[in-house]
Structure 1
Amino acid sequence: MTADPPGRHELLRRFFAGLTEYAFAVRMGVVDPPLVDYVSEMLVRFVQSDVIYGLRSPRGERLIQVADMLAEAQARQGAARRQMHRHIGDFTLFWTGVYPEMADRMRQGRKDSLIDYCDQGKKNYYLASRLPAAAEESAPDDVLMRLSDNFELCVYGLGEVRRQWEQREGESETPLLLG
């Protein structure tokens, strides 16, 4: 009897876990398994654009700019506010680390043009770490605090992850993330 092959989500999880561990531990010498696991899981979640842009206003409008996300976070309380701040941290970390060229383009001529994504990422992870978590919250306060304290290091690490997956994608006939 053989086991069923892993599904797409599990393959992505393994792929990003391996790349993230390699980039952080081997390439950078960062040995912090909870932090690395968090970054890896964020990548898996953000493969879906509906998760990247998953925050909505009370009217159901998709929030695509950090300025709008910040305004909405101020209107929330408790665990909902923590989730907003955590998402802003994830959003800014993802774009500045994985696709910095897109982060720059996304801000041009918009509300976000005056927002420093690194500063906002650090600040929002810090704020999230200080707010009460919902029962199903998967991010411990100490991991969010370390993301705040080491934001630039994580940005660099995500750049390493991107370089590794692009290198592996160049060696394959099928795009790794789309195949």
Structure 2
Amino acid sequence: MDTHIPDHHPLRRLFGTLTERSFAEALGWPDFRVTEYVSNLLVEFAHIDNLTRIKDQEGHSLETVVELLYEAERCRQTTEIDKERDVHRHIGDFTLFMAGLFPEYLNRIKCSRLIHHQDFLVDYVKAGKRSYGIVAQYPESCAKEPAALFQTLSTNFELCVAGLGFVRRDLDRMQDPGYRRAKNILLH
């Protein structure tokens, strides 16, 4: 199934605008490389299948950070360099997405005694920072994006999580009936 969203799709423009505004205005951090990467991440994960796009050797989707970390280690031991890099990038992307947009989900894993959940003991921020840092260590020739971008994402992971929190707030606000009425009055 093709999950690509065209460059000029309204969803891509919406996420781009919200991300740029959140990072530049709310955080005072107008780094275009980061906002472009994060907004593209939002577009990619708009299709739920992309959250579990990494597969194990048997072709099963890996759904938890623990499973992804295990797969990254397996790839490292078997010298599957490109896949190891891809898995670590996905860990960074997944943890950033979940920590920034769905912190209540992470809180539920930790606080509702869901010790049967594989990610019960995983610190998503630490796992994401570490994985982006690992991706940054790979040679530039292995990647579409420069290693410096992933080092920036690793170093500023918490700031990126906060920026996504502002994006979430804006998305929630857009769903509010009062906001919609005011927008209709102002724009029509």
Q: Deviations over 1:75-97 (max 9, x none)?
A: 22212111100000000000000
Q: Which runs of 5+ in 1 are unaligned?
A: 1-5, 174-179
- Partner letter of residue 85 of structure 1? H
Alignment partner of 1:22 is 2:21: yes
Tell me the TM-score normalized by structure 2: 0.82
Query: Greater CA radius of gyration, 1 or 2?
Result: 2
Q: Which runs of 5+ in 2 are unaligned?
A: 182-188
C-alpha contact (below 8 Å) 1:38/1:139 kept by paired residues: no
Report the Cα distance in structure 2 between the residues aligned to 1:134 and 1:99, rounded to whole angstroms: 33
Aligned to 1:64: 63
Change (3 A) 1:54 1:134: farther
Q: Give the deviation of 1:10 after TM superposition.
A: 1.4
Q: Give the deviation of 1:133 after TM superposition.
A: 5.7
Report the Cα distance in structure 2 between the residues aligned to 1:28 and 1:113, rounded to whole angstroms: 30
Report the Cα distance in structure 2 between the residues aligned to 1:85 and 1:7, rounded to whole angstroms: 26
Change (3 A) 1:64 1:9: farther
Question: Which 4+ stretches in 1 moved above 4 angstroms?
Answer: 6-9
Q: Give the deviation of 1:61 after TM superposition.
A: 1.1
Report the Cα distance in structure 2 between the residues aligned to 1:30 and 1:148, rounded to whole angstroms: 15
What value does the CA root-mean-square deviation take over the aligned residues?
2.0
User: Which of the residues 153, 166, 175 maps onto 1:169?
Assistant: 175
Aligned to 1:36: 35
Tell me the TM-score normalized by structure 1: 0.86
Flag the structure with more relative contact order, 1 or 2, with Cα contacts below 8 A and sequence separation at least 6: 1
Report the Cα distance in structure 1 between the residues aligned to 2:145 and 2:159, rounded to whole angstroms: 19
Structure 2 residue matching 1:131: 3-state secondary structure: coil
Calculate percent identity across the aligned residue pairs: 38
Alignment partner of 1:141 is 2:147: yes
Report the Cα distance in structure 2 between the residues aligned to 1:74 and 1:46, rounded to whole angstroms: 24
